[in-house]
Amino acid sequence: PNNQLACHLLGFTASGNIGQGGIESYYNDQLNGTNGREYRYLNEDLSLDRTVKTPINGNNVVSTIDINIQTIAEEEAKKFEADPGAENVSVLIMDPNNGEILAMYNTHGFDPNDAYSSDTLAYQFDTNEEGDEIPADQVAATVEGLTDEQKLEALNKVWRNFCVSDAYEPGSTFKPFTISGALEENIITPETTFWCDGFQQIDTYKIKCHKTTGHGEVTAEGAMVQSCNDALMQIGAMEGPKIF
């Protein structure tokens, strides 16, 4: 009833009411009840008898997802995807007191009511290998020209729950520790500025910022907000190995 809301978490059903992905798949046996059946047959007197096997309803599954937190998480993730921009944004919100998942979201969602729609595929074909944007009409033509096999492969990328199905190096989650260490040791203040030109040259390694064109001048606070790799490398160098 809520269209795309929490789509990756919920999953969807295919023909025969078979769960695909998410809660629908994992709890398919619990959610699907047992069909009833009626048998009719002629007895020895040639009168019609019938036996009814009563249907059994499936069980309800109640998640810990908070619809308000989920809605806010989705809205904010979509804003971040647009500006400053990202190929994928995933959000997982947990109650640290008991481990309950309150929200789980990945951008590039789908409507479980129409999970096979090609409308969700455009993002996979809207840039070329150099990262340049491709006109919308060309993208639409590419999607339209997909074979059934190619379409299914693209749909599987849409349905995939990044939060639980992909491994991702947790580099940026350590940035608060880098900054807090520098603040605690009075090496920087929240207003200390850094220049991000898109990379840092460390020995023979050119380590890029996720914004390869650079963030320009950022404060320590701005570096945290924008997750600036370049500024964080500079802060780490200012700390030195022992403090870091």
Q: What's the CA gap between 170 and 177, in Å, rounded? A: 13
The mean pLDDT of 112-120, rounded to a whole number, is 92
Quote the pLDDT of residue 128. Answer: 81
Compute CA distances 43 → 37, 46, 49, whole Å: 19, 5, 7
Is the pTM here over 0.95, yes or no?
Answer: no
* Averaged pLDDT for residues 89-117: 94
Contact 9, 47 (CB under 8 A): no
pLDDT in tens, 126-175: 888 777 788 888 889 999 999 999 999 999 999 999 998 888 777 888 89
When the pLDDT of each residue in the chain is averaged and rounded to a whole number, the result is 91
Please answer whether residues 205 and 234 qualify as being in contact, where contact means their C-beta atoms are separated by less than 8 angstroms: no
What does each C-alpha distance from 29 to 160, 161, 242 come to in angstroms? Answer: 21, 21, 54
* 3 state DSSP class of 14: strand
Q: What is the pLDDT of residue 36?
A: 86
Would you say residue 65 has pLDDT above 90?
yes
Query: What single letter denotes the amino acid at residue 243?
Result: I
pLDDT band at 82 (very low <50, low <70, confident <90, very high): confident
Q: How far is CA 38 from the centre of its chain?
A: 45
Give, as one character, the DSSP assignment of residue 133: B
Distance CA 215, CA 226 (A): 8
